[in-house]
């Protein structure tokens, strides 16, 4: 019996492995890393990206090797003609023997919605352009997590860029630099063609932590310096969680790798943030986290459980529509859930950690599939949420298939703010007002 046990285990694992894989589709393998070298002049901007920064404002972020370049952005609605300019600030950081370039952050605005702007950073180099998000529906979000910087990442990004969208949501795990700091710079260059033209709103994953005992105990040095998000604009004291409004959606980017228990700053901030949501103005509430609260993949099982226990109730009572997570390198969509049970007033949970990083796919799903899990597949790809009006949104998942993206899952969602059985609860009465 003793000698048979390992064989039995092996068989069992193979059985589980094959059950998670649809037979007609050959799983892709990880692909090589892409390293994008610095190939502009010292004072020219590199790694340009933009993010929503409060009502009608955008933050422009970029890096220069030349530390003396001014943190100024010139911009306007006609190419080459900059009728406005704004000055911001810059920072830099060290990580052991690595010194970053000068990291500039400049807030520009007020900007008009759905408008092309042309801009130049620090007075040097190429002109960039972006389009501001709309002020009303429809609005389309591209969603992709655990991106990394491999040839699969490039494939995902090309599919993201091939069809128009307004704003990208990234639920954590950006560069996979994992303390090798030049990889943060390479990632910034790889995503620049996308992140300089549409706002990229990100939250942190475990690969952003980069703590080192005694020397860097708090971590997030590169992430916080490079990917400054509108936390001050949303009353948060930490770049690890924040919220913003765009068109008729309120979006909450939560932090899976900072305190979240009921005494934590994040929890108090979240309660206050939810209490301030006006569903007539923003009928949709979307939340992103990194470690999923619902997950039937064998990878990272249970890692989101303590955060779920701490925060699920207040998201449920606020009638959050969708929760996006990353971390697991696969796609999975659940039905509306609360407290591990199907619940018509709970959010739809989606795991979208399949951006294409060097670690490859999480192939093994538990069997049988829990029946709250509607669709699951271990393939690289990205998602799109198109909110068409105050009541309806279309979610779709697009698997990377070489040069094409293949839409493999889709569903129409109805906002909980318009669903009669769910909008009866007086939301403000369940969330006492907290100070900012």
Ligand X SMILES: *[C@@H]1O[C@H](CO)[C@@H](O)[C@H](O)[C@H]1NC(C)=O
Which residues are known to be catalytic? Answer: 300
Q: Which residue is closest to ligand X by CB?
A: 406
Q: Which region among 39-47, 73-81, 200-208, 266-274 touches Fe ion (by CB under 5 A)? A: 200-208
105 or 189, CB closer to ligand X?
189
**Minimum gap (Å) between residue 97 Cβ and ligand X:** 25
Q: Residue 144: name the closest of 129, 161, 132 by CA.
A: 161
Measured from the CB of residue 297, what is the shortest distance to ligand X in angstroms? 20
Q: How far is CA 276 from the centre of its chain?
A: 23
**Shorter beta-carbon distance to Fe ion: residue 205 or 347:** 205
327 near Fe ion (CB under 5 A):
yes
Q: How far is the CB of 209 from Fe ion (least distance, A)?
A: 10
Candidate residues 173, 185, 210, 332; the one interacting with Fe ion per rule CB under 5 A: 173
Question: Per 3-state DSSP, what percentage of the chain is helix, strand, and coil (rounded to 5)?
Answer: 20, 30, 50
Residue 20 binding result from Fe ion, ligand X, none, given CB thresholds of 5 to 8 Å by partner type: none
Only segment of 37-45, 255-263, 274-282, 321-329 that touches Fe ion (CB under 5 A): 321-329
Of Fe ion, ligand X, none, which one does residue 347 interact with (CB within 5 to 8 Å by kind)?
A: none
Report, in Å, the least distance between residue 324 CB and Fe ion. Answer: 13
Taking the complex as a whole, the smallest distance from the CB of residue 50 to ligand X amounts, in Å, to: 19
Q: Quote the tokens at residue 105.
A: 């952050």
Q: Which residues contact 55 (CB under 8 A, 6 or more apart)?
A: 110, 245
Distance CA 26, CA 182 (A): 34
39 vs 420 by CB, closer to ligand X: 39
Q: Which residues bind ligand X (CB under 6 A)?
A: 25, 36, 39, 388-389, 391-392, 401, 404, 406, 426, 428-429
Residue 345 CA to residue 317 CA, distance in Å, equals: 9
- CA distances 252 to 166, 188, 201, 393, Å, are 17, 24, 10, 18
Helix (H) or strand (E) run with residue 84 in it = strand 84-87
What are the start-end ranges of the H helices in 276-350? Answer: 305-317
Q: 327 contacts which partner out of ligand X, Fe ion, none, CB within 5 to 8 A by kind?
A: Fe ion
CA distance 16 to 20: 7
The residue from 205, 230, 355, 383 that contacts Fe ion (CB under 5 A) is: 205
Which helix (H) or strand (E) segment holds residue 377: the answer is strand 373-377
Please say which residue, 77 or 406, places its beta carbon nearer to ligand X: 406
Q: How far is the CB of 202 from Fe ion (least distance, A)?
A: 13
User: Which of 43/401 has CB closer to ligand X?
Assistant: 401
* Alpha-carbon gap, residue 372 to 337, rounded angstroms: 7
Partner from ligand X, Fe ion, none binding residue 403, C-beta < 5-8 Å depending on class: none
| Between 335 and 428, CB nearer to ligand X | 428
DSSP letter for each residue of 103-153: EEEEEE----TT-EEEEEETTEEEEEEEEPPPSSS-EEEEE--S--SBHHH
What does 173 interact with, of Fe ion, ligand X, none (CB < 5 to 8 A by kind)?
A: Fe ion
Q: Whole-angstrom distance between the N-terminal and C-terminal Cα of the chain?
A: 63
Query: 39 touches which of Fe ion, ligand X, none (CB within 5 to 8 A by kind)?
Result: ligand X
221 is a site residue for Fe ion (CB under 5 A): no
Applying CB under 5 A, the residues found at the interface with Fe ion are: 173, 205-206, 327
């Amino acid at each position: 019996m003793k000698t048979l046990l390992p064989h039995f285990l092996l068989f069992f694992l193979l059985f589980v492995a094959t059950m998670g894989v649809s037979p007609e589709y050959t799983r892709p393998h990880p692909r090589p890393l892409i390293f994008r070298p610095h190939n502009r002049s010292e004072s020219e901007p590199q790694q340009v990206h933009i993010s929503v920064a409060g009502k009608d404002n955008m933050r422009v972020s970029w890096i220069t090797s030349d530390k003396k370049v001014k943190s100024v952005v010139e911009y306007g609605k006609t190419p080459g003609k900059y009728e406005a300019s704004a000055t911001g600030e810059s920072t830099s950081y060290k990580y052991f023997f690595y010194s970053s370039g000068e990291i500039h952050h400049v807030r520009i605005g007020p900007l008009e919605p759905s408008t092309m702007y042309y801009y130049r950073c620090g007075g040097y180099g190429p002109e960039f352009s972006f389009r501001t998000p709309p002020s009303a529906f429809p609005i389309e979000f591209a969603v992709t997590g655990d991106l990394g910087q491999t040839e699969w990442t490039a494939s995902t990004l090309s599919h993201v860029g091939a069809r128009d969208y307004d704003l990208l949501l990234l639920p954590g795990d950006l560069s996979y630099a994992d303390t090798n700091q030049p990889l943060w710079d390479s990632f910034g260059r790889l995503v620049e063609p996308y992140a300089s033209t549409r706002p990229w709103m990100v939250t942190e994953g475990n690969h952003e932590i980069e703590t080192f005992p005694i020397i860097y105990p708090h971590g997030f040095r590169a992430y916080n310096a490079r990917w400054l998000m509108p936390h001050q604009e949303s009353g948060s004291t930490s770049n690890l969680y924040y919220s913003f409004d765009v068109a008729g959606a309120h979006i909450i980017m939560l932090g899976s790798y900072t305190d979240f228990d009921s005494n934590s700053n994040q929890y108090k901030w979240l309660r206050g943030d939810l209490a301030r949501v006006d569903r007539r103005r923003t009928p949709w509430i979307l939340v992103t986290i990194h470690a999923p609260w619902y997950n039937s993949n064998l990878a990272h099982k249970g890692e989101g459980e303590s955060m779920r226990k701490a925060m699920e109730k207040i998201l449920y009572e606020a009638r959050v529509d969708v929760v996006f997570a990353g971390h697991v390198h696969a796609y999975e969509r659940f039905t509306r859930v609360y407290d591990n049970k199907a619940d018509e007033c709970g959010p739809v949970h989606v795991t979208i950690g399949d951006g294409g990083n060097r670690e490859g796919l999480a192939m093994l799903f538990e069997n049988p599939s829990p029946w709250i899990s509607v669709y699951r597949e271990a393939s690289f790809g990205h998602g799109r949420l198109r909110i068409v009006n105050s009541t309806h949104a279309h979610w779709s998942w697009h698997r990377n298939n070489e040069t094409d993206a293949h839409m493999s899952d889709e569903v129409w969602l109805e906002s909980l703010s318009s669903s009669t059985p769910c909008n009866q609860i007086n939301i403000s009465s369940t969330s006492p007002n907290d100070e900012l």
